Structure 1
Amino acid sequence: MKKLLLIRHAKAAHETNTGDFARPLKHSGEKDALELAKRLVSKDMVPQTVFSSPALRAKTTASIITEHLKLHEASYIEAVYEASDPTLLQIINQLPDQFDFIALTGHNPGLSTITTYLTGKYCSLPTSGAVLINFDTESWGLISAVTGDISWVSDPD
């Protein structure tokens, strides 16, 4: 069985001179990411590894989570930034089979729409939201439309 934890980045600042890619998290976003990490620990849902968009807000969210969960630093996949469903599916299909439980930190609308695609159930992830999808397969490469089941959803408080 493969488990995929999709995490939408925490709340980011909108008024910056840095451009979209380099938008930092708000203080409230940092707190929300830490609360999500605590929730994951309390539910004993610690992934084996984390992949993330390299955009600052996703990277910082992933960093807060990996630090609190005592994991190695996230690996960054350029294509996650602004990815559409076909791109996200391709990324998921290429995840390393040595890991059965992987977290992927990214952005909307991509994470919400890929969740809907993979499970057949509508999903709208808020910032700092997360969804755990279980797949009855031994290979990430076999994941496709409506092959997953949502087993847990976390919205920020």
Structure 2
Amino acid sequence: MKKLYIIRHAKSSWKDSSLSDFDRPLNKRGRVDAPLMGKVLKGKKVSPDAIISSPALRAKTTAQNIAKNINFTKPITYDENIYEANDDTLLYVMKKLNKEDSVVFIFGHNPGLNMLAESLVGLDENIPTCGIVEIEFDCKKWSEISSKNAKLISFDYPKMYS
């Protein structure tokens, strides 16, 4: 079994128009929602073997914040392929994961994460900022993941808890 947590970055700020999209930080709500969702995951006793994230500041900050809240102490992997990726690219990234890792978090962006969740488990809802889609795969290697062996386990987002 493999388990994937698709996590959209927390709400970002558009306040500084001189910043590139890549360098946008979290806004006030994002700085509240990321630790909240970390606590939700900790309450569910979720413990990933690996965390992989887009290197964009808002995704990176969300990943670091959630990692801190669940006491994840390993290094986070930042993969530039995740930034502005479509579902095919994200699936390619997933299929290259270490086969020893059973539970993985991926932090990224829409619309790619929406497309990935829809292609794997038919989720046709928007993944809101800091939303978490939990998918279980009935296979032994990440290279074998597909919609044929995927099952939606949960779909959480900050407004469910506030």
**Secondary structure in 1 matching 2:118:** helix
Residue 36 of structure 1 corresponds to which residue in structure 2?
A: 37
Q: 2: CA distance between counterparts of 1:105 and 1:36?
A: 13
Q: Is the CA contact (8 Å cut-off) linking 1:63 and 1:73 kept in structure 2?
A: no
Residue 148 of structure 1 corresponds to which residue in structure 2?
A: 150
Q: Is the CA contact (8 Å cut-off) linking 1:66 and 1:73 kept in structure 2?
A: no
Q: 1: CA distance between counterparts of 2:56 and 2:100?
A: 26
Pick which of 116-125 and 21-30 moved more. 116-125
Read off the aligned partner of 1:84 and give its amino acid letter. N
Residue 119 of structure 1 corresponds to which residue in structure 2?
A: 121
Residue 139 of structure 2 corresponds to which residue in structure 1?
A: 137
Identical counterparts, % of pairs: 39
Pick which of 97-106 and 121-130 moved more. 121-130
Q: Is the CA contact (8 Å cut-off) linking 1:119 and 1:147 kept in structure 2?
A: no
Compute the displacement of 1:46 (Å). 2.1
**Where does structure 1 lack aligned partners over 5 or more consecutive residues?**
none
Q: Is the CA contact (8 Å cut-off) linking 1:12 and 1:26 kept in structure 2?
A: yes
**Secondary structure in 2 matching 1:151:** strand
Read off the aligned partner of 2:7 and give its amino acid letter. I
1:8 matched to 2:18? The reply is: no
State the Cα deviation string for residues 45-78 of structure 1 (Å, max 9, x = none).
2212210000000000000011111112311000
Pick which of 14-23 and 57-66 moved more. 14-23
State the Cα deviation string for residues 106-154 of structure 1 (Å, max 9, x = none).
0001111101101123231000100100000001001123431110111
Residue 62 of structure 1 corresponds to which residue in structure 2?
A: 63
Question: After TM superposition, where is structure 1 displaced by more than 4 Å over at least 4 residues in a row?
Answer: none
1:77 matched to 2:76? The reply is: no
Q: Is the CA contact (8 Å cut-off) linking 1:34 and 1:68 kept in structure 2?
A: yes
**Secondary structure in 2 matching 1:44:** coil
Q: 2: CA distance between counterparts of 1:116 and 1:19?
A: 29
1:91 matched to 2:103? The reply is: no
Q: Is the CA contact (8 Å cut-off) linking 1:120 and 1:146 kept in structure 2?
A: no
Q: Is the CA contact (8 Å cut-off) linking 1:50 and 1:74 kept in structure 2?
A: yes
**Where does structure 2 lack aligned partners over 5 or more consecutive residues?**
none
**Secondary structure in 1 matching 2:126:** coil
State the Cα deviation string for residues 8-45 of structure 1 (Å, max 9, x = none).
00000013211100000012101100000000011112
**Secondary structure in 2 matching 1:91:** helix
The TM-score normalised by the length of structure 2 is 0.93
**Secondary structure in 2 matching 1:134:** strand
